[in-house]
Amino acid sequence: MSAHVWELTLGILLVVLAFDFAMAFKQRNVETSLSTAIKWTLFYIALAIGFGISLGHWADSQAQKEFFAGWLTEYSLSFDNLFVFVLILARLKVAKEKEQLVLLFGIAASLLLRGGFIALGSVIVSRFAWVFFFFGAFLIYTAYTLIKESEEEEWEESKIISYLRAKGASTFTLALVAIAMTDVLFAFDSIPAIFGLTKDPYIIVTANIFALMGLRQLYFLIGGLMKKLVYLTEGLALILAFIGVKLFIEALHSQGWDHIGSFKIPHISLQVSLGFIIGTLTLTAVVSLLKTRKK
């Protein structure tokens, strides 16, 4: 993408984010209503879909597919991140009127961390193609840990949080530190995942920004969804494992290993990746809703 496109896109997105953050700061002592949360969540989803559709007109169909694959994956991971936010704020008993401000700082920290990781990842990927072996293995391991820990519903505070609590830190401070630490862990998952779908820095950056838009409002809807999307963690684990395998295959091809004996190593196209992500998320939602409906 040209420098003009970068400047125009980032300028518009930063204005939208600044407006959202200003609203959060202004209403920091006001509990967000359910209707307001629904309206803003749908607005930001529509904004992302509109941007993705527009890419097919002024960029190309490949960029459009990469954006939707990246945005859906990052949004799903951000959704899972919010589940942890809910557990943290509930466990620490943060006052309802203070949740706005905690979420504001949490999402801002997530943006900065992902931005730094994207910049670092782009440099590493452009110089060392073999790093995809590491990325792929990391995502497969992450998928395994998600499945293993899927039965756990409680957030356990770390030694750092326990230490700060013992030193008399306020609940607000404890929540900020806990969410910042969670942001770091999720950034480690999200960046390798999107590099498995696209190498275009423009797509990576915009997919991440759109995935983080509206999370503050989505937080106030997520309490009920936590009880309904019971298989979300398993669905995310499956997506991460798939992207991990895709990265491993790409790493093999980058090293000139197109065959293992007589077996030809396949190429996994973006169409297949996008179809797998959409299919997995759809199946996860349907099966989850069917199970909770029976209950």
Residue 75 has pLDDT above 80, yes or no: yes
Residue type, 127: R
Q: What percent of the chain has pLDDT over 90?
A: 2
Model confidence at 154, pLDDT cuts 50, 70, 90, reads: low
Q: What's the whole-number mean pLDDT along residues 96-124?
A: 77
The pair of structure tokens assigned to 245 is 């395998």
**Residue 264 DSSP symbol:** E
pLDDT at 156: 65
| Mean predicted confidence (pLDDT) in 64-68 | 89
Average pLDDT rounded to a whole number, residues 107-111: 78
Q: Which amino acid is at 188?
A: F
d(CA 34, CA 220): 7
Confidence class of residue 49 from pLDDT cuts 50, 70 and 90?
Answer: very high
**Residue 240 half-sphere exposure toward CB, CA atoms < 13 A:** 28
How do residues 212-263 score in pLDDT, each as one tens digit? 887 777 777 776 666 677 787 788 888 888 888 888 887 787 767 676 767 7
Half-sphere exposure of 159 (CA within 13 A, CB side): 0
- Tell me what percent of the residues of the chain surpass a pLDDT of 70: 89
pTM recorded for the entire structure: 0.75
Going by pLDDT thresholds of 50, 70 and 90, the confidence category of residue 157 is low
